[in-house]
Amino acid sequence: MTMTLEGAAKPPRSNTAFASILAALPRIIFAVYMALFFLYLFLPLVVMGLATFNASKFPTVTPWLGTTLDWFAALWADQAMWKALRLSIFIGLGVIAISLPIGTAAALFLNSLQDRSRSFFYALMVSPLLTPGVAIGIATLVLWRQAGVGGGTLLIVLAQASFITAYVMLMVAARLQRFDRTLEDAAIGLGASRLMVFRRILLPYLKPSLLAATFIAFLQSFENYNTTLFVRGTETPLTVYIATKVRTGLTPAVNALGLVLIALTVIAAVAFELSRRSSQRTAKP
Amino acid sequence: MTRSVELIDIEMTFGITRAVEKLSVTVESGEFFSILGPSGCGKTTILRLIAGFMQPTAGRILIGGRDMVGIGANQRPTSMIFQSLALFPLMPVWENIAFGLEVRGVPKAARRRRAEELLDLIALPGYADRMVHELSGGQKQRVAIARALAVEPQVLLLDEPLSALDLKLRQHMRSELRSLQKRTGVTFIYITHDQSEALAMSDRVAVMSAGILQQVATPRELYANPRTAFVARFVGETNAFSGKVERIADGLAVVETEHGTFLGRGAAGLKAGDAATVYVRPEAISLGTGAGGNGLDALAEQLEFEGATAMLHARTEGGQPVMAALPHHRLTDAPPAGARVRLSFEPAQALVLAHA
Amino acid sequence: MHSLVKRFGPGLGSLILLGVAVWLVGMVLAPNLMMLDFSLRPNLTPAQIGGPDDHYTLVNFSALFADPVHRAIFFKTIWASALVMLTTLVVTYPMAFWLAKVATHRAVAWVTVALIIPFWINEVLRTLAWYILLAFNGPLNVVLVGLGILDTPMRWFGDAGVLAGMVYAYILFMLFPVYNSISTLDSAQIEAARNLGASTIQIHRRIVIPHAKAGIATGCVFTFMLAAGSYVAPALLGAPGSRWFTEVIYNWFFEGGNWNRGAAYALVLLTLCMVVVMATLRIFKVNLADVAK
């Protein structure tokens, strides 16, 4: 890499060992960086996972009080956890029911607009993503209090949907941007109605992005804490349940829950990726 | 012959730009009709107006004698082949072909049968279940044609469908399109910027420039008797010498130019004193003093061999370039670069058009 | 609007419009305007509402800056969020560059999966993992003392814990935008710069970073916003001395019982984030459309 002509012609012999170390230095630094990066990324998870199998009442790996699977049984028997899980799933489905159609509509709306009004609406639509989650929760809470509706499942769904819709919109809009509008003309020219063009041409084209958006919307809802915290009323979805456990008595059963969730999401992600690849293979654009 | 498509005083403006100036054209039933012009001349706009994707600013469109006002693109007896073909990528070939039948509520079995018949027609039997991306360019082309024919249109609209193909395939598809049109008897309206394509396939050609209809004629007529300077220059190669009409005698105009005095067929309405241009095709110019009396001196510059002929590029004393197509048997005595040459052409082969 | 109806027909077109209106008006604009209205009113008992005290006032905002504790927490939240943002950028930049320009396709696929796995679980569990790791009698202290690096266990909870937990939580929000923008850089530019004699640092400073500025801006905007609005990490990994502005807001709502003041504080937080977004976009000369991808 060095450009010095004299240096290249006559390398100082005595310094070769030192020079080779010096040359390897960036590699060494980089290797250390990579190791630290992944250590940082996985150490907490590994510790959390291992703690599940420790007989200690408080989740930790030090000291190791004996290996056990009891905490999975404790998790299985935890009725409050099941209730929280059911609620989270219900909320996730509710968010999908609102965000998927509206987010798709928003993407279609944006796609049909002209330049100037488009950037205005675009800014308005992505603004919930740049708003702190607590502010979204609070704004929803105070609005609905005026209508006499207090915190609870309905408000959780509405508050979450208000920003998750933006994710759906972005995902659908990204695919829509690559859509060839002459396909619509072609279908119309062959006698199709507007509705048929939508159902037979546009919707099948958007299908992959709609599936991905459904997945992401559910995950975002399922994971949400900040917004939910303010609009939950007396309801306890899963994230809130886990957070309150820290105060009411943390046991490795929560770690077991974490392990199960990781396993489930990894399986879902792999399945999703595989189905995406296979559908890509059968229908290359 | 019956009238298939009539455009009556059509105009189209987008905001302040005028895409199509007031024009009227009648396309006969079963005709292969081309609209030829450089890109941006308004030809695609006309096609989209006929298809119903746009409404004209003024004027009427009749198809099969029926006024098309208020009739949407999906209810017109037309069918279009797009420049990009616009095949539906997520449907197999047969569903593409049968899409027009599907939206008309034809049962699936009948749709499939019809699609297979059409696949036979376009010489792609057995391709029904292929996906679009598995086809070659020429095969896609044919599927697009089959899809457009499946709805049994009165008029097929083709928007430069061959432009994406390579030269060999394009020439092959030309003759295929032409024979398909003759077999089916469907009226074809074909848009192209490629004059050789238009001349080779069409019964009649309309030439457009800057939204203005220049001339509608058979390919032969268009080549032999261009009505405007634009047509003369756009259709085929030509030499142009501008000057002033001295007088008109026996239908021949005598034109004074700075390269000499030339005789040529005067267009109707041409009179003495008009500023005019003499147009001569390169193949009408021969080396040496031929019969007829139009002669000019030039300096040979280079010779381009083109197969059947060779194009001699020369320059007059006034600096004007002149092209002459030399037939094969004259190549042996072709002048070397820098040689003085005498060129000549018959008055019957020269056309004189007054300046607009 | 006209083009919408023209493209989708009157039925579907109006459904689309209706959906967009319900979202933008009912779920985005109305709640925020109501929050603004709320923040400008004093906290009244039901009996006082409509009475002489029910008028617009800035008292909820002035209270924030009059209270030294709240003021200090507010400003601390700003600079600590900025610190989280910068740390995340420094930590992820080499990885982003490596993924975009050095790693093979296979390596990128594997590393991406490895990076994403921790993020399939929610922020609360992720923070909980750190809570377990950093506990006073937890594994980190045991290992560090055992190795002789520390004499006595450290109290990690507090500023250090919050920083570690937050950077961890938001790494991907920085990594992916930066990675995406670097990967659009033509590698030949790097080679050309090197060929012209540029050092590694010069290459990054003059070629890679300017090219990746949209991605860097995006990552910074998101990381700052998420950090400033974070609640879990300070609640779990913090100490009394490292309180976060969101915790103050929460207390106004659910312990102090003054929603008007809470709304005002939340609005200040929202405004802060918007200002940071706008300023960052202006500084990096980036357009909003490049941010949300």
d(CA B209, CA B23): 12
Domain boundaries, chain B: 3-231, 237-354
Does A192 contact B103 at a Cβ distance shorter than 8 Å? yes
C-contacting residues of A 266-285, CB under 8 Å?
266, 269
Do the Cβ atoms of B142 and B125 come closer than 8 Å?
no
pLDDT value of residue C113:
80
Model confidence at B276, pLDDT cuts 50, 70, 90, reads: confident
pLDDT value of residue B286:
81
pLDDT value of residue A9:
43
Kindly report the average pLDDT of chain B as a whole number.
86
Virtual torsion, Cα C74, C77, C80, C82, nearest 10 deg: -90
Domain boundaries, chain C: 63-292
Asked if A252 is an interface residue toward chain C (Cβ–Cβ < 8 A), one would say no
pLDDT value of residue A247:
79
Residue in chain B closest to A282 (alpha carbons) equals: B131
Residue in chain C closest to A123 (alpha carbons) equals: C288
pLDDT value of residue C111:
86
pLDDT value of residue B27:
92
Asked if B84 is an interface residue toward chain A (Cβ–Cβ < 8 A), one would say yes
C-chain CB neighbours of A146 within 8 Å are 34
Query: Residue B157 class from Cβ within 10 Å (0-12 exposed, 13-18 middle, 19+ buried)?
Result: buried
Model confidence at B331, pLDDT cuts 50, 70, 90, reads: low
Does A225 contact C269 at a Cβ distance shorter than 8 Å? no
Model confidence at A138, pLDDT cuts 50, 70, 90, reads: very high
Q: Chain A: give the shortest CA distance to residue B98, in Å.
A: 10
Does B72 contact A188 at a Cβ distance shorter than 8 Å? yes
Over residues B178-185, the mean pLDDT reads 88
Does A183 contact B99 at a Cβ distance shorter than 8 Å? no
Q: Chain B: give the shortest CA distance to residue A185, in Å.
A: 7
Model confidence at A282, pLDDT cuts 50, 70, 90, reads: low
β-pairing, B294-305 vs B260-266, is: unpaired
**Between the ranges A161-165, A208-212, B42-46, C68-72, where is the mean pLDDT highest?**
A161-165
Does A109 contact C4 at a Cβ distance shorter than 8 Å? yes
Q: Chain B: give the shortest CA distance to residue A121, in Å.
A: 25
β-pairing, B17-28 vs B3-14, is: antiparallel
Instruction: Determine which of A83-87, B300-304, C16-20 has the lowest per-residue pLDDT on average.
Output: B300-304
For C193-201, the CB contacts below 8 A with 24+ separation are: C194/A1, C197/A3, C200/A26
DSSP secondary-structure letter at A54? B
Q: How far is CA C30 from CA A143, C23, C80, C225, C229, in A?
A: 7, 10, 31, 22, 21
Model confidence at A1, pLDDT cuts 50, 70, 90, reads: very low
Query: To which residue do tokens 């061999």 refer?
Result: B305
Query: To which residue do tokens 């706008």 refer?
Result: C278
CATH of domain B237-354: 2.40.50.100
Residue A284 confidence (pLDDT) above 50: no
| Type of residue at C201 | I
Closest C-alpha among B31, B23, B71 to residue B51: B71
3+ Cβ–Cβ pairs closer than 8 Å linking B and C: no
Instruction: Determine which of A171-175, B272-276, B287-291, C153-157 has the lowest per-residue pLDDT on average.
Output: B287-291
Instruction: Determine which of A263-272, B142-151, B236-245 has the lowest per-residue pLDDT on average.
Output: A263-272
Residue in chain C closest to A36 (alpha carbons) equals: C91
The shortest CB-CB distance from C12 to any of A129, A194, A254 is to A194
Q: How far is CA C154 from CA A39, C139, C142, C162, in A?
A: 20, 12, 10, 15
A-chain CB neighbours of C230 within 8 Å are 226
d(CA B87, CA B145): 10
Is the sign of the CA dihedral A200, A201, A203, A205 positive or negative? positive
Residue A186: phi, psi to the nearest 5?
Answer: -60, -45
Kindly report the average pLDDT of chain C as a whole number.
88
Convert the pLDDT of each residue in B101-155 to its tens digit. Answer: 988 889 999 999 999 999 988 888 889 999 999 998 889 988 999 999 898 899 9
Convert the pLDDT of each residue in A164-188 to its tens digit. Answer: 999 999 999 999 988 998 999 999 9
d(CA A265, CA C134): 26
d(CA B182, CA B30): 8
Residue in chain B closest to A283 (alpha carbons) equals: B90
d(CA A164, CA A156): 12
pLDDT value of residue A2:
40
Over residues A81-99, the mean pLDDT reads 96
Residue A276 confidence (pLDDT) above 80: no
Does C7 contact A184 at a Cβ distance shorter than 8 Å? yes
Q: Chain B: give the shortest CA distance to residue A171, in Å.
A: 20
- Residues making up chain C, counted from first to last: 293
pLDDT value of residue A110:
92
d(CA B160, CA A206): 29
Asked if A182 is an interface residue toward chain B (Cβ–Cβ < 8 A), one would say yes
A-chain CB neighbours of B151 within 8 Å are 190-191
Asked if A215 is an interface residue toward chain C (Cβ–Cβ < 8 A), one would say no
Domain boundaries, chain A: 2-44, 79-233
Do the Cβ atoms of A239 and C122 come closer than 8 Å?
yes
Residue B95 confidence (pLDDT) above 70: yes
pLDDT value of residue A280:
61
β-pairing, B275-280 vs B239-249, is: antiparallel
- Sheet containing B155-159: which strands, arranged edge to edge? B78-81, B155-159, B187-192, B32-36, B204-209, B212-217
pLDDT value of residue C183:
92
pLDDT value of residue A140:
95
pLDDT value of residue A14:
54
| Type of residue at A116 | R
| Type of residue at B290 | G
Do the Cβ atoms of A82 and A241 come closer than 8 Å?
no
Do the Cβ atoms of A72 and A91 come closer than 8 Å?
no
Does A187 contact B89 at a Cβ distance shorter than 8 Å? no
Residue B4: phi, psi to the nearest 5?
Answer: -95, -60
B-chain CB neighbours of A201 within 8 Å are 88
Determine the 3-state secondary structure of C134 from DSSP: helix
CB count, 10 Å around CB of A42?
A: 15
Residue in chain A closest to C92 (alpha carbons) equals: A37
d(CA C141, CA C133): 9
Residue A19 confidence (pLDDT) above 70: yes
Convert the pLDDT of each residue in B208-223 to its tens digit. Answer: 988 889 999 999 989 8
C-contacting residues of A 69-128, CB under 8 Å?
101-102, 105-106, 108-109, 112-114, 119, 121-128
A-contacting residues of B 40-59, CB under 8 Å?
51-53
The shortest CB-CB distance from B84 to any of A180, A196, A283 is to A180
Select from A178, A188, A190 the residue whose CB has the most chain B CBs within 10 Å, as the one to mutate to test that interface.
A190
Query: Residue C133 class from Cβ within 10 Å (0-12 exposed, 13-18 middle, 19+ buried)?
Result: buried
Listing DSSP states for C251-267 in one string gives HHHHTS--HHHHHHHHH
Tell me how far the alpha carbon of residue B264 is from its chain's centroid: 26
The shortest CB-CB distance from A102 to any of C8, C22, C130 is to C22
**Omega within 30 of 0 (cis) for the link into A63:** yes
Tell me how far the alpha carbon of residue C70 is from its chain's centroid: 21
Kindly report the average pLDDT of chain A as a whole number.
86
Residue in chain C closest to A182 (alpha carbons) equals: C7
Residue A190 confidence (pLDDT) above 80: yes
B-chain CB neighbours of A282 within 8 Å are 131
Q: Chain A: give the shortest CA distance to residue B97, in Å.
A: 10
Does B88 contact A185 at a Cβ distance shorter than 8 Å? no
Do the Cβ atoms of C265 and C245 come closer than 8 Å?
yes
Listing DSSP states for A5-22 in one string gives HHHHHS--GGGHHHHHHH
Residue A285 confidence (pLDDT) above 70: no
Asked if B316 is an interface residue toward chain A (Cβ–Cβ < 8 A), one would say no
d(CA B331, CA C236): 95
Cα of first residue to Cα of last residue in chain A, in angstroms, is 43
pLDDT value of residue A5:
41
Structure tokens, B43: 């030809």
d(CA A265, CA A93): 16
pLDDT value of residue A279:
66
List Cβ neighbours of B149 (8 Å cut-off, separation of 6 or more). Answer: B79, B118, B121, B156, B184, B186
Q: Chain A: give the shortest CA distance to residue C210, in Å.
A: 22
pLDDT value of residue C130:
92
Can you name the CATH fold of C63-292? Answer: MetI-like fold (1.10.3720)
Q: Chain A: give the shortest CA distance to residue C268, in Å.
A: 10
For A110-116, the CB contacts below 8 A with 24+ separation are: A110/A169, A110/A173, A111/A173, A111/A176, A111/A177, A111/A179, A112/C3, A112/C4, A112/C7, A112/C8, A113/C3, A113/C4, A114/C3
Look at domain A79-233 and name its CATH class. Answer: mainly alpha
**Mean pLDDT, chain C cut into blocks of 10 residues (293 residues total):** 81 93 95 92 80 83 89 93 95 94 87 80 87 88 88 88 93 92 89 83 89 91 93 89 90 88 93 90 80 59
DSSP secondary-structure letter at B68? -
Determine the 3-state secondary structure of B261 from DSSP: strand
List Cβ neighbours of B306 (8 Å cut-off, separation of 6 or more). Answer: B325
A-chain CB neighbours of B49 within 8 Å are none
Structure tokens, C204: 């990054």
CATH match for B3-231 among 3.30.1360.120, 3.40.50.300, 3.40.30.10, 3.20.20.60: 3.40.50.300
Query: Which H/E stretch holds residue C205?
Result: none
d(CA A161, CA A96): 8
